[in-house]
């Protein structure tokens, strides 16, 4: 390795280590930080975020990148040239952001998240409104610093942070036919059966979900499972991947689904080559769409399948005992695949889920453009829920205050959820062809072959292939909405 490339990698490692400290502070804020620590935690996050940004945008980093770009050995190596390409891309974007804006974004995110928690608990949109206005104003400033791509819009500049190369126009071309196909499918598949009235002690659920993570391949010596209001996963550093879930006595299947979802994210993080490449693009995910595809694969393609539950139900009984007495496999399959329109995105079935995402995509674009005043958000939200899902929103707590993302400043994030569903369905077609007897393996509680396939085809490459590229390379065709609709239409709705 050349001296400039070695120095560049060390500088990137230092910047990423600082970012991991900011992420650790945010993990702590979501899981166990005392409430009175909020103000100082915001200062901590702001400081560390600014220091990480200054490290990553130091002029010496730019000089090193330029030197490495003239190194023929690096440029001829497919891995290192891809690494260098993404280093250049990240640097050119990062230097457009003033350090004081980066610090303000970090501080505001920490404070606004706590304000959102309080406002949601009290169903008080007016209390959160100033924070929402500030977050969208900051997002607009950030997007203006990046600049809209040629022929695009400011929203594209923010979207690119989460899904490299994607634009709102590209999303619309996939989302519109998907929406048109989902509406009649939802009507045809809508369940009239009541939900199963299970009451499972939270203590038993904790034990089962913790065991499940290890059983499906998560290295519990290199990570941990905790609890939070809004489940999330963060890959902090080599050997440190953390996921959270949530429990309610009457939410057994919700907890399993949340855990499997976050487990998919966590397995991706543990499959990246972080030990040797911490801070480099080759140790980072392809994008949040592909990240979400991994969570959806384990939550939906695996976790809603009859083969999985034919194995998991007897195992769950070992932990939950009499709480699951009388529950048969057919009832479980019907429950986890039931289509029931609801108000809450994170509790939505996989068929109606994408309508929730498209609502948020449309609204946040309008908020960013200024076409939708923040004061008008609750009414606009309620109208879209009524039009798209046929439901009346009784309060803002179950309406526009339900998601954490805007409080964190994650504007441009929501579309990656549906991209993840699209990628997962398109990739699952390949899994069924290439992983022999995968469904029989699931029924035996054997998950290694599936995880090995994901590691080989996706995880180990990091950001060598960014954005939509892994999906298109593996499947051999452009991104398409049809595999998702075909997968949903073929779901077993009965025993």
- Per the annotation, the verdict on 180 as an active-site residue is no
- State residue 240's pLDDT score: 97
Reduce the DSSP state of residue 462 to 3 states and report it. coil
In the block, which residue shows the tokens 């490495």? 68
| DSSP letter for each residue of 252-308 | HHHHHHHHHHHHHHHHHHHHS-HHHHTTSGGGS-S-HHHHHHHHHIIIIIITTSHHH
Here the tokens at position 237 are 């550093």
- State residue 194's pLDDT score: 80
Helices (H), 95-201: 99-122, 125-146, 154-162, 168-189
Per DSSP bridges, beta strands 240-245 and 233-237 are antiparallel
In the set 30, 44, 262, 350, the catalytic residue is: 262
pLDDT tens across the length of the chain (495 residues): 899 999 999 999 999 999 999 999 999 999 999 989 999 999 999 999 999 999 999 999 999 999 999 999 999 999 999 999 999 999 999 999 999 999 999 999 999 999 999 999 999 999 999 999 999 999 999 999 999 999 999 999 999 999 999 999 999 999 999 999 999 999 999 888 888 878 999 999 999 999 999 999 999 999 999 999 889 999 999 999 999 999 999 999 999 999 999 999 999 999 999 999 999 999 999 999 999 999 999 999 999 999 999 999 999 999 999 999 889 999 999 999 999 999 999 889 999 999 999 999 999 999 999 999 999 999 999 999 999 999 999 999 999 999 999 999 999 999 999 999 999 999 999 999 999 999 999 999 999 999 999 999 999 999 999 999 999 999 999 999 999 999 999 987 644
- State residue 446's pLDDT score: 97
Closest to 165 in 3D by CA, of 272, 79, 288: 288
What are the φ and ψ backbone dihedral angles of 240, each rounded to 5 degrees?
Answer: -145, 90
| DSSP letter for each residue of 184-201 | HHHHHHB--SPPP-----
The contacts of residue 203 (CB under 8 Å, 6+ apart) are none
Q: Is the pTM of this model over 0.85?
A: yes
In the block, which residue shows the tokens 């993302």? 405
CA distances for 148 relative to 144, 153, 421, 446, 480, angstroms: 7, 5, 27, 47, 26
3-state secondary structure 12-50: HHHHHHHHHHHHHHHHHHHHCCCHHHHHHHHHHHHHHHH
Give residue-wise pLDDT tens across range 45-61.
999 999 999 999 999 99
- State residue 494's pLDDT score: 46
- State residue 190's pLDDT score: 87
- State residue 493's pLDDT score: 62
- State residue 495's pLDDT score: 40
């Amino acid at each position: 390795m050349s001296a400039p490339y070695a120095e560049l990698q060390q500088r990137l490692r230092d910047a990423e280590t600082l970012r991991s400290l900011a992420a650790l502070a945010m993990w702590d804020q979501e899981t166990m930080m005392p409430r009175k620590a909020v103000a100082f935690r915001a200062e901590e996050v702001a400081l560390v975020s600014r220091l990480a940004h200054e490290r990553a945008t130091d002029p010496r980093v730019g000089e090193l990148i330029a030197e490495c770009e003239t190194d023929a050995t690096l440029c001829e190596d497919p891995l290192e040239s891809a690494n260098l390409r993404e280093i250049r891309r990240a640097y050119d974007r990062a230097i457009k952001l003033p350090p004081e804006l980066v610090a303000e974004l970090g501080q505001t995110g920490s404070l606004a998240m706590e304000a959102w928690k309080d406002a949601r608990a009290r169903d008080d949109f007016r209390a959160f409104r100033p924070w929402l206005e500030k977050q969208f104003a900051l997002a607009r400033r950030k997007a203006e610093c990046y600049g809209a791509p040629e022929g695009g819009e400011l929203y594209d500049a923010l979207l690119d942070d989460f899904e490299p190369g994607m634009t709102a126009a590209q999303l619309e071309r996939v989302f519109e036919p998907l929406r048109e196909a989902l509406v009649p499918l939802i009507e045809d598949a809508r369940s009239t059966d009541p939900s199963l009235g299970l009451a499972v002690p939270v203590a038993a659920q904790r034990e089962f979900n913790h065991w499940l993570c290890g059983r499906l391949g998560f290295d519990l010596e290199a990570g941990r499972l905790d609890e939070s209001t809004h489940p999330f996963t963060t890959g902090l550093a080599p050997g440190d991947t953390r996921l959270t879930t949530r429990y309610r006595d009457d939410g057994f299947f919700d907890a399993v689904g949340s855990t499997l979802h976050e487990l998919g994210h966590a397995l991706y993080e543990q499959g990246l080559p972080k030990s040797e490449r911490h801070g480099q693009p080759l140790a980072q995910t392809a994008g949040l769409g592909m990240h979400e595809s991994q969570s959806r694969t384990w939550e939906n393609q695996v976790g809603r399948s009859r083969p999985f539950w034919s194995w998991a139900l007897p195992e769950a009984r070992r932990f939950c005992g009499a709480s699951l007495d009388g529950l048969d496999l057919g009832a479980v399959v019907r429950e986890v695949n039931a289509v029931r329109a609801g108000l809450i995105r994170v509790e939505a079935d996989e068929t109606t889920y994408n309508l929730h995402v498209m609502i948020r995509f449309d609204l946040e674009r309008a908020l960013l453009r200024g076409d939708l005043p923040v004061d008008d958000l609750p009414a606009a939200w309620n109208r879209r829920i009524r039009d798209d899902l046929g439901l009346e929103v009784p309060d803002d707590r179950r309406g526009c205050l339900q998601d954490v993302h805007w409080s964190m400043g994650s504007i441009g994030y929501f579309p990656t959820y549906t991209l993840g569903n699209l990628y997962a369905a398109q990739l699952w077609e390949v899994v069924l062809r290439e992983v022999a007897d995968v469904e029989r393996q699931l029924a035996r509680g054997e998950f290694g072959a599936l995880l090995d396939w994901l590691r080989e085809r996706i995880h180990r490459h990091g950001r060598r292939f960014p954005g939509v590229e892994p999906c298109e390379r593996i499947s051999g065709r452009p991104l398409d909405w049809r595999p998702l609709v075909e997968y949903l239409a073929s779901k077993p709705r009965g025993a």
